[in-house]
Amino acid sequence: MKAAVCYEVGKPLVVEEIDLDPPEAGEVKVRIAATAVCHSDIHILRGDLPEKLPTVGGHESAGWVEDIGRGVTGFKKGDPVVVSLLVSCGKCKYCQTGRSHQCNAAWPMDTGTRIHNKKGQDLSMLFKTGSFAEYTVVNQSQLVKIPADMPMDRACMLACGVITGFGAVVNRARVPVMSSCVIIGNGGVGLNAVQGAAISGANPVIAVDISDKKLEAAKTFGATHTVNASKVDAVKEVQKITGGGAEYVFITVGSTDAISQGLAMSGVQGMTVVVGLPKITDSLDISPLMFIKDERTLTGSYMGSTQLHTEIPKLVDLYKAGILKLDELITARYPLEQINEAIESVENGEALRNIIVF
Ligand SMILES: [Zn+2]
Ligand SMILES: [Zn+2]
Considering every ligand atom shown, identify the ligand nearest to the alpha carbon of residue 158 and give its number: 1
Q: How confident is the model at residue 163 (pLDDT cuts 50, 70, 90)?
A: very high
Residue 116 predicted with pLDDT over 90: yes
Q: How many domains does the chain have?
A: 2
Mean pLDDT, rounded, for 205-219: 96
Q: What share of the chain in percent tops pLDDT 70? A: 100
Considering every ligand atom shown, identify the ligand nearest to the alpha carbon of residue 37 and give its number: 1
Residue 45 predicted with pLDDT over 90: no
Alpha-carbon distances of 49 from 52, 85, 144, rounded to whole Å: 10, 16, 28
Q: Are residues 172 and 144 in the same domain?
A: no
Q: Are residues 36 and 145 in the same domain?
A: yes
Considering every ligand atom shown, identify the ligand nearest to the alpha carbon of residue 139 and give its number: 2
**Tally of CB atoms within 10 A around 22:** 10
Q: Are residues 148 and 242 in the same domain?
A: no
Q: Which of 43, 181, 200, 225 is catalytic?
A: 43
**CA–CA gap between residue 37 and residue 340 (Å, rounded):** 10
CATH number of the domain residue 181 falls in: 3.40.50.720
Q: Are residues 8 and 149 in the same domain?
A: yes
Q: Which helix (H) or strand (E) holds 44?
A: helix 39-45
Query: In the annotation, is 305 catalytic?
Result: no
Residue-range definition of the domain harbouring residue 28: 2-159+326-357
Residue 299 predicted with pLDDT over 90: yes
CATH number of the domain residue 337 falls in: 3.90.180.10
Give the Cα-Cα-Cα angle 221, 127, 30 (nearest 5 degrees): 85
What are 128-138's pLDDT values in tens digits?
Answer: 999 999 999 99
Does residue 318 lie in a domain region?
Answer: no
Q: How confident is the model at residue 278 (pLDDT cuts 50, 70, 90)?
A: confident
Mean pLDDT, rounded, for 137-146: 98
Q: Which of 6, 39, 40, 181 is catalytic?
A: 40
Residue 311 predicted with pLDDT over 90: yes
Burial class of residue 258, CB neighbours in 10 A (0-12, 13-18, 19+): buried
Q: What share of the chain in percent tops pLDDT 90? A: 89
Does residue 215 lie in a domain region?
Answer: yes
Q: Are residues 207 and 251 in the same domain?
A: yes
Q: How confident is the model at residue 43 (pLDDT cuts 50, 70, 90)?
A: confident
| 242 alpha carbon – ligand 1 mean position (Å) | 31
Q: Are residues 295 and 169 in the same domain?
A: yes
Q: Are residues 342 and 217 in the same domain?
A: no
Higher pLDDT, 212 or 45: 212
Residue 84 predicted with pLDDT over 90: yes
Collapsed DSSP state (helix, strand, coil) of residue 19: strand
DSSP secondary structure letter of residue 113:
-
pLDDT of residue 201: 98
Q: Which helix (H) or strand (E) holds 169?
A: none
- Average pLDDT of the chain to the nearest whole number: 95
Does residue 142 lie in a domain region?
Answer: yes
Does residue 316 lie in a domain region?
Answer: no
Q: Which of 39, 59, 101, 225 is catalytic?
A: 59
Residue 236 predicted with pLDDT over 90: yes
